């Protein structure tokens, strides 16, 4: 049987536009876990009753609120250390109080004396009961400034992430950028793929050189627009309008709090309305999102099966009169 090509190679060759493939997260928990622990967390059949209960409660939270959450597993800089978590919450306060700065997520760091096998406690206490982070088993530590690049290097899940993710992770570290070897978070065919926090941007098809340029903002948004999966703080279709505005306004756009709604019409097309904090108060933009011809791609390097992959185009963008 011939060896399958990497799914990421197929995606690039097909010219897939990755925008709108970022998950929509209201908050993100990063668990610092040694690589062998990643497989244990992913092994649903081996979960304890406590771990099962935590995920059942998290499913209930998502169903009740409609707000998703991110779970990232990143290898700690010192293997074998006790459980540490980084918790990011979406920063939309600037829209509520009229401020102009407040894009992306707000990071808070917590250390404990718990073993890494108690990872379910980290999820419970950040995502379900944040009051437990005050005292008890947790000690809050100052969060460092600057970006964190979480690069999927999980080659056992998909070979593309091992082939392309590891060199990107190494290049970022060599350039002095804070980078993390990270477990699978979706999007094998976008390898090397990365979650950038606190900006909340997800990236696709990074090369070692491009990853460093993106982290240092040595390229313009227009130059890397085709590598952007989207801003996780917005619904997927709203990420198309957000990318357009990022290209238009430049990297400073990321300092604005943004929220959006997506209206679906009877014909299946959509209209996105996005409001962002601005220098003189909230600004609102609107645009149609149109369905383009789908691509047929493999979602995994380990399977020959293809499936339709949706593609979209953005219609004319208008700034709403008087803004909102």
202 lies in some domain: yes
Work out the pLDDT band at 65, boundaries 50, 70, 90. confident
207 burial (CB, 10 Å; 0-12 / 13-18 / 19+) is middle
245 lies in some domain: no
85 lies in some domain: yes
Least confident stretch, 53-62, 103-112, 194-203, 276-285: 276-285
Q: Which pTM value belongs to this model?
A: 0.94
299 lies in some domain: no
- Per-residue pLDDT at 157: 79
291 lies in some domain: no
Average pLDDT value over all residues in the chain: 91
- Domain residue limits at 228: 7-235
Query: How many domains is the chain built from?
Result: 1
State the Cα–Cα distance between residues 153 and 182, nearest whole angstrom.
6
Nearest to 277 by CA among 91, 108, 106: 91
Has residue 63 got a pLDDT over 80?
yes
Which of 64-68, 81-85, 91-95 tops mean pLDDT?
81-85
Mean pLDDT, to the nearest integer, of 277-304? 89
Mean pLDDT, to the nearest integer, of 278-297? 92
Q: 53: part of which helix (H) or strand (E)?
A: helix 49-65
158 lies in some domain: yes
Has residue 96 got a pLDDT over 60?
no
- Per-residue pLDDT at 324: 43
pLDDT tens by residue, 230-284: 999 999 999 999 999 999 999 999 999 999 999 999 888 899 999 999 888 899 9
Mean pLDDT, to the nearest integer, of 317-322? 81
State the Cα–Cα distance between residues 182 and 163, nearest whole angstrom.
14
Q: At what angle do helices 208-216 and 166-174 cross, to 10 degrees?
A: 50
- Per-residue pLDDT at 1: 38
**CATH (domain of 131):** 3.40.30.10
316 lies in some domain: no
76 lies in some domain: yes
């Amino acid at each position: 049987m011939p060896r399958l090509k990497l799914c990421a190679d197929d995606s690039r060759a097909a010219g897939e536009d990755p925008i709108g493939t970022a998950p929509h997260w209201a908050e993100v928990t990063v668990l610092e876990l040694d690589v062998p622990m990643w497989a244990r967390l992913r092994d649903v059949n081996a979960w304890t009753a406590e771990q099962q209960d935590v995920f059942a409660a998290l499913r209930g939270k998502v169903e009740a609120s409609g707000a998703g959450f991110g779970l990232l597993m990143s290898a700690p800089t010192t293997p074998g250390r006790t459980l540490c978590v980084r918790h990011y919450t979406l920063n939309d306060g600037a829209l509520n109080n009229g401020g102009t700065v407040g894009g992306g997520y707000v990071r808070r760091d917590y250390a404990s004396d718990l073993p890494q096998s108690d990872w379910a406690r980290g999820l419970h206490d950040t995502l379900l009961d944040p009051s437990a982070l005050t005292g008890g088993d947790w000690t809050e530590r100052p969060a460092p400034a600057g970006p964190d690049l979480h690069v999927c290097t999980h080659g056992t899940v998909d070979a593309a992430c091992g082939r392309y993710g590891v060199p990107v992770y190494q290049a970022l570290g060599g350039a002095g950028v804070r980078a993390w070897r990270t477990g699978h978070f979706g999007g094998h065919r976008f390898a090397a793929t990365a979650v950038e926090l606190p900006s909340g941007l997800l990236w696709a098809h990074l090369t070692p050189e491009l990853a460093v340029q993106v982290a240092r903002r040595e390229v313009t948004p227009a130059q890397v627009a085709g590598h952007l999966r989207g801003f996780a703080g917005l619904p997927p279709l709203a990420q198309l309008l957000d990318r357009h505005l990022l290209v238009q306004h430049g990297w400073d756009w990321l300092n604005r709090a943004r929220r959006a709604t997506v209206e679906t019409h009877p014909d299946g097309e959509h209209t996105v309305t996005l409001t962002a904090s601005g220098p003189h108060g909230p600004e609102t933009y609107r645009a149609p999102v149109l369905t383009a011809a789908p691509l047929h791609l493999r979602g995994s390097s380990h399977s020959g099966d293809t499936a339709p992959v949706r593609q979209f185009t953005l219609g004319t963008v208008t700034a709403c009169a008087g803004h909102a």
